[in-house]
Chains A and B, each alone.
Chain A
């Protein structure tokens, strides 16, 4: 048993030091504008989902569930999110693709997150990605309207899309 523990400790130290040496020698590729390998992407998205699911409080959207809420969120989205996440009805964002991992193109793929999770992710941002915390820029109700809007992609009422594209916020 003593020998087993000694071996275990040795293995642990070897792992830690070889990782540190690998990092220290600059052998990690840090380029951003390249495709994420399939399994890496699977792993990263799985971990992010799991962490959001575990940490985001299961809150109810306090705003009324109507077109007005969606329009308010949509205007915010058009103002501040389209640069990376893509505009409804347009080609995917070239800029969003230059991040690693790339910014998800909500208008095309929608999102698996619930409204409360979108709210939480927008408010706090996602660590080690290009997603910055928006909590210091936007109030709670604004972020809730945004969450309502984003979580309905790609099935937004055409009326809502028309309204936000014709009368964007200044």
Chain B
């Protein structure tokens, strides 16, 4: 019985120290231009999702957004987000320059609710390329972005045309 307890305690002490030593000695791969493994993605993505669900739980659903708000949010997306998250109305292309890769929202949409999207844009996601935009956008803009992102993969073409008029040049 004593031996059992000793083995248990040894594992609890040695494993965390071993893990830390692995990182401190520089054995971990650090390059960003690679595709994360399925296991890593599964574990970390569910952790992020759970944390966001928990953090944004107290935020009330906003009243249904008007078309104008969605368009305003879309314009913010075109200016500030699509460099990493994919061109609105553009061809789907995965971006493996950042690790983890930023989700290609126009193609896949999002599982998050509007309050959660508002929270993510405002606070960012730690240890990813997603910085916090709270200091740069007003509350109104954050909610407009959230409303737009919620609908990003289901927008009718006329809405996309209003957000991103074709005649206004190739890129903004």
**Residues in A lying within 8 Å of B, measured CB to CB:** 1-12, 14-15, 20, 23-34, 43, 46-55, 94-95, 98-101, 123-137
Contact = CB atoms under 8 A, between A and B. Distances in A.
Given A28-B47, A29-B126, A30-B48, A55 B31 contact: yes
B12 A15 contact: yes
Given A33-B132, A55-B31, A3 B26 contact: no
Contacts of B168: none
A29 B47 CA distance: 10
A127 B131 contact: no
Contact of B4 (A3, A48, A100): A3
B3 interface: yes
A54 B26 contact: yes
B3 to A, nearest CB: 4
Contacts of B3: 1-4, 7
Contacts of B96: 133
A32 B98 contact: no
A100 B47 contact: no
Interface stretch (B52-60, B62-70, B105-113): B52-60
Nearest to B131: A98
Contacts of B4: 3-4, 6-7, 10
| Centre residue among A7, A10, A24 by max chain B CB count within 10 A | A7
7 contacts: A7-B9, A32-B128, A43-B24, A53-B26, A131-B129, A132-B32, A137-B97
A23 to B, nearest CB: 4
B32 A15 contact: no
Contact of B33 (A2, A7, A25, A136): A136
Contacts of A43: 20, 23-24
B99 A8 contact: no
| Centre residue among B51, B123, B126 by max chain A CB count within 10 A | B126
B interface bracket (residues with beta carbon within 8 Å of A): 35 or more
Closest 3 pairs between A and B when the two form their complex, measured CB to CB? A7-B7, A32-B124, A11-B11
Contact of A31 (B26, B34, B55): B55
B27 A54 contact: yes
B24 A50 contact: yes
| Centre residue among A23, A31, A94 by max chain B CB count within 10 A | A31
Contact of B98 (A12, A15, A94, A130): A130
Nearest to B96: A133
A26 B124 contact: no
B91 interface: no
